[in-house]
Amino acid sequence: MSVIEARDLRRSYRTRTGLWKREKKVVEAVRGVSFAVEQGELFGLLGPNAAGKTTTIKMLITLLLPTSGSASVLGHDVVDDAREVRRHIGYVFGGDRGLYERLNALDNLRYFAELYGVPAREQKQRIGALLELVGLTGREKERTEGFSRGMRQRLHIARGLLHDPEVLFLDEPTIGIDPVGARELRATIGTLKGQGKTILLTTHYMFEADELCDRIAVIRAGELVAEGTPATLKQRVTGGHVMEVETFGMPESAVAAVRSLAGVSTAAVEERGQAQVLLVQVGPGAEVTSAVLGCLGGVNVGRVSSREPTLEDAYVELVSGQ
């Protein structure tokens, strides 16, 4: 039995649009998603904005009913055994809502510990350990209204762990957190995995997914388009290499010409400081350097280099393909 199982999950939303909100529109947010997460695994759900990640998570944590399909956590059905599911899971959404601003961090945690039914004699020790885990020891007596975004996010994580859940859902946990804080948070997530928790994570940071995840599923427009370990995704998508060409004043027509070359999977321009860098994903075994440079006649060309594909390259190709 897998710890998390989604079987052909679907969810649509009915919304009202138009001037007087008279027109009804149906948004198919999740369109038949299936995957399984095993015990102790850290599974990443990646995809562009509006792909359906949060909707999928909300169904798994029993906050939203599926339109069709089914899902279970630790063998409990998310619709029929919602109570049982809730007892075993914790979740953290990126953002800073849901704390009591007038209370300090400690009282916030005490309040939620009470709410989650953490036995009174365990509360003190549990809260102390969690404050330590998220790096808020020493700040627990301060009101949360004075907390920075990163501190709030850490407090959210502590809150999500109060009842010592076996399964964790982290929806963009590092959003809005500074690089040092985000790195610490990734270490914390690593520690939780080390404790044997099963974790489902979403993030828009590909290096983060690469660093943390055992397996990844990529979702686009409500459907899974790829699944595998970070390493297999990188290989599967390009198998080749990425050519980087520094240019100045690159016209879109030249990018289009490069894109249509044989052996080129995709090409895109990235701004880096003063320069623009043309990123060309080259298929396995293809040699395109002179053909690419041929397309750039009249464009100022700087350094040309080649590198291994990153997870971000793989991701860009997966979500931009048709």
**16, 23, 24, 27: which one contacts ligand ATP (CB under 6 A)?**
27
Stretch of residues binding Mg ion (CB under 5 A), selected from 49-57, 143-151, 182-190, 264-272: 49-57
Stretch of residues binding Mg ion (CB under 5 A), selected from 30-38, 53-61, 73-81, 108-116: 53-61
Instruction: Give the span between the Cα atoms of 96 and 204, in whole angstroms.
Output: 18
Cβ neighbors of 116 (< 8 A, separation 6 or more) are 162, 163
Instruction: Give the span between the Cα atoms of 107 and 25, in whole angstroms.
Output: 43
Closer to ligand ATP at the Cβ: 61 or 118? 61
| Parallel/antiparallel/unpaired status of strands 241-248 and 300-307 | antiparallel
Output the smallest distance, CB 9 to ligand ATP, in A: 12
Tokens of 182: 């985000």
Instruction: Give the span between the Cα atoms of 174 and 181, in whole angstroms.
Output: 8
Instruction: Give the span between the Cα atoms of 153 and 198, in whole angstroms.
Output: 20
Closer to ligand ATP at the Cβ: 94 or 165? 94
Instruction: Give the span between the Cα atoms of 129 and 64, in whole angstroms.
Output: 32
Q: Is 203 in the site for ligand ATP (CB under 6 A)?
A: no
Map residues 42-81 to x or -, x wherever contact with ligand ATP holds by CB under 6 A: -----x-xxxxxxx--------------------------
Closer to Mg ion at the Cβ: 31 or 76? 31
Q: What is the 3-state secondary structure (H, E, C) of 166-215?
A: CEEEEECCCCCCCHHHHHHHHHHHHHHHHCCCEEEEECCCHHHHHHHCCE
**6, 9, 29, 151: which one contacts ligand ATP (CB under 6 A)?**
29
Instruction: Give the span between the Cα atoms of 150 and 155, in whole angstroms.
Output: 9
Output the smallest distance, CB 262 to ligand ATP, in A: 34
Output the smallest distance, CB 56 to ligand ATP, in A: 7
Question: Residues 228 to 257: which contact Mg ion by CB under 5 A?
Answer: none
Binding site for Mg ion (CB under 5 A): 53-54
Binding site for ligand ATP (CB under 6 A): 13, 15, 27, 29, 47, 49-55
